[in-house]
Amino acid sequence: MTTNDRHFERLLSARARIGWGGPVGTQRPTSNALYEFGGGFPDPESFPYEGMIEATKVMMKEEGAAAMTYGEPLGYKGLRELACHKYELFEGLKVSPENIIIANGSGHALSLAFSAFLDPGDTMISEVPAFSGTLVTLRRHGPRILGVPIDDEGIVTAAVRERLEQCRREGTPCKLIYTIVNFQNPAGPTQSLRRRHELVALATEFDTLILEDDAYGELRFDGEMLPSLYALDTHNRVIRAGTLSKILGAGVRLGWLLAPKPMIPAFQGFLFGGGVNPYVSRVATYFMRDHMAGHVARLVGVYRAKRDAMLKGLWEVLTGTDVRISKPEGGFFIWIKLPSGTNTAKLLQLAVDARVQYTPGTNFYPNGGGEDHIRLAFSYEPPEKCYEGGRAMGRCILAAR
Ligand SMILES: Cc1ncc(COP(=O)(O)O)c(C=O)c1O
């Protein structure tokens, strides 16, 4: 018998071997943060503790037995209806629960979409930079990722067209286009209406699909909400991922895909059955169905104050350099292009010493790049710490030149 703890590796499936040995999560500098600006963690003080206790009590009285057994394969209908209610409330978009499948957070929902459409070696397009969690999941699906840049209007559709034409010349179908439309993670821009129309038209022209990731849409601090790609699409080309993580709590692990109805079985096939989390789905639904508008309005104020505090701290220290700092209209993140001449290895060490957690830009680039960028999440810490920590990070950046 072998005592080698890696003896299982030769038995791994072909699927598990893809990306084996690579990172299994986003890489960050410190495990001992005083200022936690690394992950997109929601504000713990805004969690509706009492509301969730009350919702659990009411739900258990009304339907305890149903909550404690296997649920519907697409997920608890009440939660699918709640997602429809959310789309109607914030966007005036009418969709049916039959177009929704519940997943274990939108990260899982994205993974279901990748599993349904990507074989190893398949070609897809992703905007770059893009959410590191998606890239980690994507790597394990083994596609060739063609990156296209983003600018202030989001994904550059002219570059998408070039890539799609490249696929056509090569005779390789582009399986899907991944994009984060609102307050892009990490870089912050919101896709303009013009680009949204262009992207949807490109998907139809080149016979491909769009995976629209929208984890933050309701958390808009400034400006007006734009119609989603899903809403603009008239040819069943768009799959949209949504989540309760940012408007209720990431611990409920509830998200979904909204998709054309005939596509839903393609995702369902990757779930075991019994629905995802029927119990927690009910608790979340019982709370949110009565509190959605008020709770989200409160969160918008909370996160706006944090964004402003962090920007203030950063600019107080970094004004006068050639730094570029995003000002997102919503969401959780600030994206920084470091001043020229910044030594990123030194910056990493200085941030570890100052106990400022951040995410290095390289995490957001599937094919290399991003060394001159970092992402800060203002979502978790209270405004005072966003301000102080913004100053502390600014000082690290200055000292790293
Ligand atoms: C753009 C984006 N998509 C998806 C997710 C996944 O979130 P969850 O799985 O908690 O719904 C996140 C989380 O940070 C995100 O920023």
- 84 CA to centre of ligand 1 in angstroms: 19
Q: Would the CB of 106 count as within 6 Å of ligand 1?
A: yes
CA dihedral (278, 211, 25, 187) in degrees, to 10, reads -120
- 194 CA to centre of ligand 1 in angstroms: 25
Q: Would the CB of 180 count as within 6 Å of ligand 1?
A: yes
Mean pLDDT across the chain: 96
Short-list 347, 349, 324, 321, CA closest to 336: 324
| Average pLDDT for 16-22 | 85
Burial class (CB in 10 A: 0-12, 13-18, 19+), 372: middle
Over 60: is that where the pLDDT of 314 sits? Answer: yes
Q: Would the CB of 191 count as within 6 Å of ligand 1?
A: no
Q: What pLDDT does residue 354 have?
A: 96
Kindly report the protein residue whose alpha carbon is nearest to atom 6 of ligand 1: 107
| Structure letter (DSSP) for residue 263 | G
27 and 364 Cβ atoms separated by less than 8 Å:
no
373 and 228 Cβ atoms separated by less than 8 Å:
no
Query: Reduced to 3 states, what is the DSSP secondary structure of residue 275?
Result: coil
Q: What pLDDT does residue 23 have?
A: 75
10 and 332 Cβ atoms separated by less than 8 Å:
no
- 129 CA to centre of ligand 1 in angstroms: 15
Give residues with Cβ within 8 angstroms of 144, minimum separation 6.
Answer: 121, 122, 123, 124
Q: Would the CB of 131 count as within 6 Å of ligand 1?
A: yes
| Structure confidence at residue 3 as a pLDDT band (50, 70, 90) | low
CA distance 105 to 65: 24
pLDDT digits (tens, 9 = 90+) for 323-370: 999 999 999 999 999 999 999 999 999 999 999 999 999 999 999 999
More confident residue, 27 or 236: 236
Over 70: is that where the pLDDT of 32 sits? Answer: yes
CA distance 119 to 236: 21
Q: What pLDDT does residue 160 have?
A: 98
Query: Reduced to 3 states, what is the DSSP secondary structure of residue 354?
Result: helix
| Average pLDDT for 268-280 | 94
205 and 161 Cβ atoms separated by less than 8 Å:
no
Question: In angstroms, what is the C-alpha Rg of the chain?
Answer: 21
CA distance 100 to 308: 35
pLDDT digits (tens, 9 = 90+) for 43-58: 999 999 999 999 999 9
Q: What pLDDT does residue 245 have?
A: 97
| Structure confidence at residue 317 as a pLDDT band (50, 70, 90) | very high
Question: Does the pTM of the predicted model rise above 0.85?
Answer: yes
Q: What pLDDT does residue 1 have?
A: 55
Question: What would the two tokens of residue 249 be?
Answer: 């709590």
Question: What would the two tokens of residue 229 be?
Answer: 């790609």
| Structure confidence at residue 42 as a pLDDT band (50, 70, 90) | very high
Domains of the chain listed by start with CATH number: 12-47+296-399 (3.90.1150.10), 70-290 (3.40.640.10)
Q: What pLDDT does residue 109 have?
A: 98
Q: Would the CB of 213 count as within 6 Å of ligand 1?
A: yes
pLDDT digits (tens, 9 = 90+) for 199-216: 999 999 999 999 999 999
- Report the nearest atom of ligand 1 relative to the CA of 108: 9
- 211 CA to centre of ligand 1 in angstroms: 13
pLDDT digits (tens, 9 = 90+) for 275-300: 999 999 999 999 999 999 999 999 99
Q: Would the CB of 40 count as within 6 Å of ligand 1?
A: yes
**Phi (first) and psi of residue 275, to 5 degrees:** 75, 155
